[in-house]
């Protein structure tokens, strides 16, 4: 039987990542109400000026709750691990997932290191997910509010660390509960708009952002069909993603979609909707959360991107990769994105989509 984690599982100190937003602010209140000694931390990933409002709001909540709050300057690590990865993936004709990488290389890695330095056992965030304790150990599970579930981004967590990770919002029924919690405490920004942007790119202008790092003219090339016949010119492989239909800038009489992007010759292959369907894919840089987990003879629910519907698949190890065989063909499986897989509502693992079949 699964039970939600209790105080007996932890010491009373917890290091909470505070972005100054609704979720992490309400997480601070919930943790404190549960009797934890909360220490808040806001990390700076680009410039201090761009983070002024976030830091100010985080400090406001910390002062209100009378908790310690500090700032970590992670600009150097963020540039190396996230920004460099982000634009080089687009250079390669792939579609990156910076939030997954940030969770792995920045958020949980650095938070755990900082917690250890400060003698703090637990770490926490305002993400919607759950860690549950079972007789056999700890499990990462989907949030109670499935529509807000963010477990997709957490597949790189390690089993050895799960007894230290707390997700206070995992049991909430809705985002509105988090807002009302802040309102009840007199927090003025309880109606703050929820950001949907990549945190280091303003106004979702990612094309202009990545073109600072390479010559966009070097990415120009041809639209081709599946037989290699030239259909027209395109504006650069970094402007397209698998499954894209709108904004292609070419009229072919019937709706066409991006099927493939080749960084070697800059060809972007276009085709019909049914040609997007794939029977499987290979995952690189994968992680299975639980030690000695047996993948064989199990059918998993998979998500090929955060917003995708789940599809059933068998998963097996092939060399240093995982092979995912979909029960039914799946559309727009995109190299560079993360595929994660679940056993029921338990997150088992995931990896980066490398190639499709």
Q: What is the bridge-based pairing of β-strands 130-134 and 321-331?
A: unpaired
CA 291 to each of CA 8, 137, 158, 287: distance values in angstroms, whole numbers, following the listed order: 24, 11, 9, 10
Catalytic residues: 102, 199
Give ∠ CA 154-127-30 in degrees, rounded to 5.
135
Cα–Cα dist 82/203, whole Å: 18
Q: What angle do CA 127, 132, 134 make, to 5 degrees?
A: 165
């Amino acid at each position: 039987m699964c039970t939600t984690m209790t105080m007996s599982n932890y010491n009373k100190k917890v290091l909470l990542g505070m972005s100054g937003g609704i979720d992490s602010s309400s997480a601070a209140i919930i943790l404190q109400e549960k009797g934890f000694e909360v220490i808040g931390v806001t990390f700076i990933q680009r410039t201090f000026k761009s983070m002024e409002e976030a830091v100010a709001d985080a400090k406001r909540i910390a002062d209100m709750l009378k908790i310690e709050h500090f700032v970590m300057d992670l600009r150097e690590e963020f540039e190396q691990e996230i920004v460099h990865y982000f634009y080089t993936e687009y250079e390669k004709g792939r579609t990156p997932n910076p939030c997954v990488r940030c969770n792995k290389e920045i958020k949980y890695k650095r938070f755990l290191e900082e917690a250890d330095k400060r003698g703090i056992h637990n770490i926490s965030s305002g993400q919607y997910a759950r860690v549950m304790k079972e007789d056999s150990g700890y499990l990462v599970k989907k949030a109670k509010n499935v529509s807000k579930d963010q477990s997709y981004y957490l597949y790189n967590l390690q089993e050895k660390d799960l007894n230290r990770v707390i997700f206070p919002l995992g049991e909430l029924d809705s985002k509105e509960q988090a807002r009302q919690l802040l309102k009840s405490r007199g927090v003025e920004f309880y109606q703050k708009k929820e950001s949907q942007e990549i945190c280091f790119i303003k106004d979702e202008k990612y094309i202009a952002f990545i073109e600072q790092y390479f010559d966009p003219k070097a990415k120009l090339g041809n639209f081709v069909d599946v037989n290699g016949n030239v259909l027209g010119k395109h504006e650069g492989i970094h402007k397209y993603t698998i499954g894209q239909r709108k904004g292609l800038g070419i009229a072919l009489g019937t709706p066409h979609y991006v099927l493939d992007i080749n960084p070697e010759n800059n060809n972007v292959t276009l085709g019909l909707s049914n040609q997007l369907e794939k029977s499987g894919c290979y995952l690189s840089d994968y992680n299975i959360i639980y030690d000695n987990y047996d993948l064989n003879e199990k059918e998993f629910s998979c998500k090929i991107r955060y917003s995708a519907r789940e599809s059933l698949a068998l998963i097996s190890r092939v060399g240093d990769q995982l092979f995912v065989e979909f029960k039914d063909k799946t559309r727009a499986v995109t190299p560079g994105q993360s595929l994660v897989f679940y056993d029921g509502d338990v997150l088992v693992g995931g990896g980066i989509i490398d190639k499709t079949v």
